[in-house]
Structure 1
């Protein structure tokens, strides 16, 4: 499995990976030293689907996180290599720096000459955020009929942040389309993990359609394809459907919609223990074969399945 993930990273990141957030020391800890040479870099902004260890005081640094890779908790929200989710664009249920704050932090690094103009022009910026905002909106019992208004404000905020990043000198910016949020275990539990909640997947589709339109408009205004999109939506769905199809032939394959790290009660996260030190979660029999690690994050195998779908479609064009 490690070799599989290494091949993914070789395809996606033939670069030095630097996860940029307000927790600069955390970034140094998880990604090594910042360098100032002219090698191509991938600068990453967004939620914990793309974070590799910046949220220092979280369950991502507690067992069972990291049990598949590297064998101990290292700050990734999953059992291994992941693109996990906890920041978001607006303030969400998770207390972490939003996208604007992350860009503010990055701008300070540029002003401190941590990165040069050539660094920005020759590198790639990946932005992944949004799902936390919608799940927060839904789970806090907001008026579902107001979600269209919320969607417009959210996509506009993303768009403004993309423009900010471009104004800092980035010439190649990749923004992820929203994953099918109706398939996340925290939502699909309503169907007893039998199927995705397709009504909420329509929210993802609406978000993506609006974002794609904005990206197209931005590229027309600039006169060249600065902004590109990474289709997480269809990649998630295709991976899930493939696993479901294989389950019909092999019933021992785990349900892709069911989380491996299941919570015993509301109010706990994977890795949490009570005041007596007793675990408030249970693990599936074979975490390395699961698709979802917990209620929101794919497992290492899940991300591998997703990137196999991306590999056959757009990764070469985007990161080549």
Structure 2
């Protein structure tokens, strides 16, 4: 049998066994927020949304986020934010993510009250109301997920970045942050078990990004020359991110033992994003450590007193966001998010090596 025939048979077998997720239920921070923060605290200004949507739509990007590309691949509508109730259709899922959210509850370390435990409480309320509406019938029934969707949905989780970033802002040392990480992951594990208790079975979990490559943290915590890698990223900050990820991976392994009926896909976002940033020109991008939208110029074009989402004087957006990786110094562009999604969706950066469309298979 010729190699091309073998490849075709493998592809057909993969498609035949593909999961049919009827919905996506997402928990997270601004990396996957599709309008939660904007609904609660005010709309984002232009130039957010300019590239793909034509205007701001609650996303911290010029266009789509990874969660949007996940929805596209699963042939589902883009997720609506739970807090955005105006004319919203939740029949194929819901998004509880909110910008600035952390795993741990709100304290002095976090400015956003919608932490992961609040997102879970919102999920409980949503599930309860969905059950009630389903029983009552009528027009609104068609705007909510069917009851069996809660056990068949893909639960996506992308959170933890703010717990680490805010710890740096509070001048915690490397050692202090590392000692702090187990408590973050204990809370995350507890929440995932709670979701499982409510019927969740299929989990797609992103690790955290190379935070030491974000213009935001490079400006806020400038590394010395000997602390920079060859790309210009901060080695100490990335070391903490990698430590978080190694412990997160251990947490997921333990969850598999504790919840053998569930399926967990651990996605190595860190490696994909670092690959893009460190080899930007090879993949058609430029200025990987510089914000497209920002004020301040310099090598990062980031000013924490004049950030893109604050709509202050002097802000400028680059002429071609599709050639940039960082949109506002914290979040990625539509083009970068697409590039990242294309690498993670096939399973090459997942444990186990499972593609997105097969993420229901153990």
Task: Tell me the TM-score normalized by structure 2.
Answer: 0.69
Bigger CA drift: 133-142 or 303-312? 303-312
Task: Tell me which residue corresponds to 1:260.
Answer: 292
Residue 345 of structure 2 contacts residue 355 of structure 2 at CA under 8 Å; is this kept in 1?
no
Residue 50 of structure 1 contacts residue 128 of structure 1 at CA under 8 Å; is this kept in 2?
yes
Task: Label 1:223 to 1:93 Cα distance change in 2 as closer, same or farther (>3 A).
Answer: closer
Q: How does 1:214-253 map to 2 (within 5 A)?
A: 214-245=251-282, 253=285
Instruction: Map Cα deviations across residues 151-187 of structure 1 (whole Å, 9 max, x no partner).
Output: 1111111111111111110110121111111111112
Task: Label 1:170 to 1:53 Cα distance change in 2 as closer, same or farther (>3 A).
Answer: same
1:105 and 2:122 equivalent?
yes
Gaps of 5+ in 2: 1-14, 67-97, 132-143, 297-302
What CA distance in whole angstroms lies between the structure 2 residues aligned with 1:268 and 1:58? 18
Task: Tell me which residue corresponds to 1:62.
Answer: 45
Task: Label 1:82 to 1:200 Cα distance change in 2 as closer, same or farther (>3 A).
Answer: same
**SS of match in other structure, 1:228:** strand
2:26 to 34, 44, 67: 44
Bigger CA drift: 218-227 or 134-143? 218-227
1:269 and 2:286 equivalent?
no
**SS of match in other structure, 2:36:** coil
**SS of match in other structure, 2:279:** helix
Task: Tell me the TM-score normalized by structure 1.
Answer: 0.78
**SS of match in other structure, 2:308:** coil
Residue 276 of structure 2 contacts residue 283 of structure 2 at CA under 8 Å; is this kept in 1?
no
What CA distance in whole angstroms lies between the structure 2 residues aligned with 1:148 and 1:51? 27
**SS of match in other structure, 1:125:** strand
Give the deviation of 1:227 after TM superposition. Answer: 2.2
> Moved runs in structure 1, 4+ residues, more than 6 A?
none
Task: Tell me which residue corresponds to 1:22.
Answer: none
Task: Tell me which residue corresponds to 1:162.
Answer: 192
Task: Tell me which residue corresponds to 2:54.
Answer: 71
Number of paired residues?
277
What CA distance in whole angstroms lies between the structure 2 residues aligned with 1:273 and 1:208? 34
Residue 201 of structure 2 contacts residue 261 of structure 2 at CA under 8 Å; is this kept in 1?
no
Answer with 1 or 2: which has the greater Rg.
2
Aligned-CA RMSD value: 2.7
1:142 and 2:172 equivalent?
yes
1:80 and 2:63 equivalent?
yes
Bigger CA drift: 100-109 or 58-67? 58-67
Task: Label 1:173 to 1:273 Cα distance change in 2 as closer, same or farther (>3 A).
Answer: closer
Task: Tell me which residue corresponds to 2:341.
Answer: 307
Gaps of 5+ in 1: 1-10, 16-37, 248-252
Task: Label 1:266 to 1:220 Cα distance change in 2 as closer, same or farther (>3 A).
Answer: closer
What CA distance in whole angstroms lies between the structure 2 residues aligned with 1:39 and 1:176? 18
**SS of match in other structure, 1:44:** strand
What CA distance in whole angstroms lies between the structure 2 residues aligned with 1:131 and 1:196? 16
Residue 85 of structure 1 contacts residue 296 of structure 1 at CA under 8 Å; is this kept in 2?
no
**SS of match in other structure, 1:76:** coil
Give the deviation of 1:115 after TM superposition. Answer: 4.8
Residue 47 of structure 1 contacts residue 129 of structure 1 at CA under 8 Å; is this kept in 2?
yes
1:199 to 231, 236, 251: 236
What CA distance in whole angstroms lies between the structure 1 residues aligned with 2:49 and 2:260? 44
